[in-house]
A and B are shown apart, each in its own frame.
Chain A
Amino acid sequence: MTDGEPMELKRTPLHDHHRELGARLVPFAGYEMPVQYSSIIEEHRVVRSAVGLFDLSHMGELEVRGDEAVAFLRHALVSDPGALEHGQAQYSMACDADGGIIDDLIVYRRATHEFLVVCNASNRAAVVDQLAGLLSRGDFGVTVADRSDATALIAPQGPHSAALLAELTDLDLDAIANYRSADGEVAGIACLVARTGYTGEDGFELFCDAAKARELWDALATAGERHGLRPCGLGARDTLRLEAGMPLYGNELSRETNPYEVNLGRVVKLEKGDFVGRSVLAAVQHTGPERKLIGLRMIENAIPRSGYAVRADGSDVGRVTSGTLSPTLGEKIAMALVPAELAGVGNAFEVVVRERPYRAEQVKLPFYRRPRG
């Protein structure tokens, strides 16, 4: 597939099993990961209608603990992890001094002075470097431990995921609301059970010892049969998150974008005091961002893709950050960064596909919102 990979790809604890399942494995963020097992569209639909099982063990898990863990994370991240209750989770970002996004993260409060920070595999080194750099200035009574290689992350996602999980755990899942977590056993294996995900559906992320990954996966796959479970790859994960309007680092998010441009200003807590990037971000908040991330729906028949030019009134004004044929909506959809003054639901744009412009209109994000029941 891809020639001349510069370095040996890492493998998750479930790598051999993915191969047995007939997955197509591709290089992703330095790992050899399953992009699909059978069909991206079928896997996508299984998550919207039943339950899909993802191996996300490539993700980074950093443990931050110490008396000053709250003060440290308040300084290092744009959000306020001090506002979290025990077990609660928070979507966050680490920004650089210029307000550019180093990574987007989920922070889980494990105890008063202990947090789990989950980062993208592709940015694990950058996040570790950033946190280590801040620590080396010596003002914080905190340790940061990278637990990524010892930790597996297995995610059942979809409307049937709670019913499936309930068969395998004594935890009261009704007590674990969205963006909450609890420690417990699943199929007899010690896990952090978090009600988080990246699909736009109800679902869970189960963190366990890497040595137990296969046992946990098999228990979920076996019990999941009568819930319609299928293993799902990163291909479906990408179309699911795009329909749900969730940004992907490297597409919507980068060091060249700030949180306000990508509609994540609500995550930034300027009032919490000083933190890395605050002065720049406060200025952006004050003046408003120059660019804005928008949703596009194609009116004419072409599929928008990352990097394609976006035009307004005949001139190039921005770029598609992600695009696809939406399996759920049957529409060709995209997210794009455009000048803020051009953004407005219903506004007309064109996306240039193979040197020809195709009409599109701005629509509200997210493209898809799950039915609440």
Chain B
Amino acid sequence: MAYPDDLRYSREHEWVRVDGSRATIGITSFAADELGDIVFVELPEVGTTLTQFAAFGVVESVKAVSDLYSPISGEVLETNDALRETPELLNADAYGEGWIARVELADTDQLDALMDAAAYAEETT
């Protein structure tokens, strides 16, 4: 499977797209496929602070409940409210309309602990 080159990836199957001091985060298409039909997403509150590799939300498929782990630390600026009504966006468009949250990056050095697309592809084969 190929993954977008402009993203960084965590072992917990989340991605981060950096834009200056801000970042968008989501789950990878690999994670979405593994989970199957996603039917519920519990999003973090705007204004809360995420900690790198700590749980910050929940995603539920028909059969299973899984925690979401933040790939980076930072304050939540915005969440994708469309996921409350249409959680299946995570399956349909994991890197686009299925984004989960935008955050103010606390420490850009944390990105060094994440994988690039090639390394993540290796991780998931």
Contact = CB atoms under 8 A, between A and B. Distances in A.
B53 interface: no
A39 B60 contact: no
B61 to A, nearest CB: 8
Which of A42, A238, A324, A325 lies at the interface centre, i.e. has the most chain B CB atoms within 10 A of its CB?
Answer: A325
A226 interface: no
A35 B63 contact: yes
A40 B63 contact: yes
Interface string B25-43: 0000000000011011010
B40 A303 contact: yes
A235 B65 contact: no
Interface string B52-82: 0000001011110100000000000000000
Nearest to B58: A354
B36 A39 contact: yes
Interface string A172-201: 000000000000000000000000000000
A40 B91 CA distance: 13
The bracket for how many chain B residues form the interface is: 10 to 19
The range of chain A's interface size is 10 to 19
A230 interface: no
- Name, among B36, B37, B40, B61, the residue most crowded by chain A CB atoms within 10 Å (CB to CB): B37
Nearest to A24: B36
A41 B65 contact: no
Contacts of B63: 35, 40, 235, 238
Nearest to B85: A301
Given A303-B39, A303-B40, A325-B39, A41 B62 contact: yes
Interface string A323-336: 01101000000000
A241 interface: no
Contacts of B62: 40-41, 235, 239, 324-325, 327
Interface in A268-312: 301-303, 305
B40 A41 contact: no
A36 B39 contact: no
A305 B65 contact: yes
Given A35-B63, A235-B63, A41 B37 contact: yes
Interface string B11-32: 0000000000000000000000
A116 B89 CA distance: 47
A260 B30 CA distance: 45
Interface in A319-373: 324-325, 327, 354
Nearest to B63: A235
Contacts of A238: 63
A235 B39 contact: no
Contacts of A327: 62
Nearest to A235: B63
Given A35-B63, A305-B65, A40 B58 contact: no
Contact of B40 (A36, A39, A40, A325): A325
A228 B58 CA distance: 35
A267 to B, nearest CB: 29
Contacts of A41: 37, 39, 62
A302 B84 CA distance: 11
A39 B65 contact: no
Contacts of A325: 39-40, 62
A40 B65 CA distance: 15
Nearest to A44: B62
4 tightest A-B CB contacts, nearest first: A325-B39, A40-B62, A41-B37, A303-B40
Interface of A: 24, 35-36, 39-42, 235, 238-239, 301-303, 305, 324-325, 327, 354
Interface of B: 36-37, 39-40, 42, 58, 60-63, 65, 84
25 contacts: A35-B63, A36-B36, A39-B36, A40-B36, A40-B37, A40-B61, A40-B63, A41-B37, A41-B39, A41-B62, A42-B37, A235-B36, A235-B62, A235-B63, A301-B40, A301-B84, A302-B40, A303-B60, A303-B65, A324-B62, A325-B39, A325-B40, A327-B62, A354-B42, A354-B58
Given A238-B63, A301-B84, A325-B40, 9 more contacts: A36-B36, A40-B36, A40-B37, A41-B37, A235-B63, A303-B40, A303-B60, A325-B62, A327-B62
